[in-house]
Structure 1
Amino acid sequence: MSKQFPKRIIRNAALCGVLASTVALPFTAFAQSDEGGFLMTLRLAERLISRDSSGPDTSTTNGVTNQAISDVSLRVSSETRTETLNFELGGGYRFVDGPSTDGINSEFTDPTLRLSYAQDAAASAISVSLFASRTDLDNTSTLNLARTADGTLDPDFADLTQDGGNRNRLRFDGTLSLRDDAPFGLTFGLQVDDISYDNLADTSTLTDYTYGRISAKARFDITEVMQANAGVHFSQTAGADTYDRYGIDAGLILTQPNGQITVDAAATDGDDGSQLHLSAARSFTLEDTTARFGLGLSRASTDDVFVTGTASFKHTFADDSPWGNFTASADRTLTREGRDDEDLVTSLSVATNYALTPVANLRLSAGFARSEDVATGDTVDLSQANLSMTYALTPDWTASAGIGMQSRDPSDETATESTSLSLGLARTFDLRR
């Protein structure tokens, strides 16, 4: 383990602690409120996972790895008319026997901490969130790990592998909006994201970095159905090298009876060149269906121009149908946020679930992502597919079984593929007030 790791974690934990303290007083007032509801959920789970991996001859994880993992998570949520508080703490203890272990090893794995708070007033709103995690890269699905809460991919997702090592993350997000009830309003944002790694393989390309961003945006309600936005931001990526970037963006939103039409433009400039983005999109909202389609152009710092776009679709079936919902999305984006590499990222995903019986449910999901380095043309393809079934033994006990397939295929080296089988049993305990 790097000797710099403890100092890095302590430094950034202190930073996130200071940022999180900005909501201490609202928490105190919120806890004393008698309005709204309170829910505390304790979840205990046992998972058995067997994974068969194949890849480059230099990989230490080729072969069959068997794991038994005991998970514990505690979630507390409370809500009033104007405030919402969520707290979640989780982790596991696992026994693992695999190609890179000497017999059966045991260890704590994947601790996580989430804290979020939101308050809405008549003319303003504030939301803050704090997230901390330590993830074993051998014990996760790469695409699932790479996706953030809003479904987007992390900047370093293409470099994530299953060749050992741990990923440590501390992230703080905060937004404050003012004059929400007026034709002119302001929104301020702050983001700090620190990612570090330890115990990596000698061939790993993963590097530590800290990403910070501050932004300010103005909203103009031109008419009841037309809104204009304009904003500025500054970001810094500090790792092996430090990059400062400045940006401006503007947009127009036209509200329709069944959705919105949006037009956006953005420009960034900094130590490593500039980017320009233009896009237009149309969204639809129907009784059981939501959809969004967009198309754009992006110019990279190399002066190359790329066609970009986005599409998403979600349909919820009727209550008397065994089908629950169906979701699909596609996205093609020129990105550089949080890293010095400039990448063209294409991603596809689809998921659906089917009720076999009133207590048994089947879920199918698949995803694909490609990252192409604009400067070198090197690509990394990630793909995965999962089929799982859950069975409610009682209202509190749930059994599950699943099979998953995953592949990582870089253009400059041998592909890594894995197949996993899993069995699980979980019990939840709820306390409501």
Structure 2
Amino acid sequence: MGDGIVLTGEILRQKWITFANLVGIPDDDRLKLSNGWLRCFKDRNGLKEMRRHGEAAMAPDRGLSDRKRSGVKGKKVRLTYAFTSNADGSEKLRPFVIGKAARPRAFNKKSGAQLGFYYRNNAKAWMTARLYQDWIEEWDRELQKKGRNILLLQDNFSGHIVPPNLKNIRVENFEPNLTAHVQPKDQGIIRCFKAHYRARFIQRAVNRYDEGITPADIYDINQLQAMRMADEAWSDVDTTTIRNCWRKAGILPAIPSRTTQPSIPISSLVNDTSSQTDPIIEAERQVENALDDLVATGALQTKNRMDINALLNPEGESQILTETSDEEIYHAVMDSMKARENMEITGGDDVDDDIIIEPRPTRREVLKAVSTIGACIEESNDPNSRKLEALLGSLNRQLRLDETRNMRDTHLTDFFQKL
């Protein structure tokens, strides 16, 4: 069930016929769609019969014709992010990232795993039951190795079909009519992530403008750059934010801190802890400050400045799946299968955004840049300069070590072709 639509056995049969027509399966080769077939289909996909109660059982109060539809084509590049954390914020999983291309051009022929991401793809960059099941089964195997058991609370989303073979993960779905009220991620965690991301994105635009890049191009960003920035934004969502959002959801008792602290912190005798800034408010303030900087450059006119709510929750952001036709679903599946075959044959694809990927600097160019930055900060007594100096020294050593290894791995026979 999704968006108030009841999924029945007859609907499943009719959808099978629809997709069979799209594929072009001859009538003589089609399945009988018997009750036995339906039972096996439901077992394979974890579908169960449910009786709806309360608000969820009511018909939608708006028809499809009441939905806003824009005539402007959306951005070609779109990523879907799924976040998972425990209640006290001490454990945050890597974001589950879904894009369109298996190996975008910005990945430079590397896989998402090689770059440190949990990345999957399909033609629509959306969460599907198969992707979800692959993810949760992999996580379940990791928990088995560690001897851990967990309770996973999640949205009642149509793609969240729980596989039947989980051993160390118990899954509970929020009721459709309660999700917005009791889902901790909806109490500010996702908003905080978006604020951190937007602040970094806007500040990057300011920096690019200062570098002499034209206002029309300062917002250009490729997929890898966006994913790196999103990783940093997720890291910025701290334990305080997560704990506060879980408390706000009101679904758990008070969460004790994992660190031992005195019953009356000394700091509370000096400072009023109740007046501390909310991390979400602080993240939004960073966005506003970045916008101020952008306006100050002249690259953004004050009249074109977006409201913070519109910036963090753009219209149409969550309406991707609700307006998908059968034909689009069919083509998405076919494109995904072709992409998987392409991965097996060629090791990747080149589908990506319209952003031009600049050539990567050579090792010699990077070493020169490291030397230039080092010379610039060597006379500074600032603590951050000393930290940067140490990092640059470590990077310099690693680059030279890699260069030495590459030289050792080269043999005279490598320059001759085998007959």
Which of the five TM-score ranges fits, normalised by the shorter chain? under 0.3
Q: When the two structures are superposed, what TM-score results if normalisation uses the length of structure 2?
A: 0.21
Instruction: Kindly name which structure, 1 or 2, has the bigger radius of gyration based on alpha carbons.
Output: 2
Higher relative contact order (CA 8 A, sep 6+): 2
Question: Greater helix percent: which structure?
Answer: 2
Considering fraction of residues, name the structure with more strand: 1
TM-score, normalised with respect to structure 1: 0.20
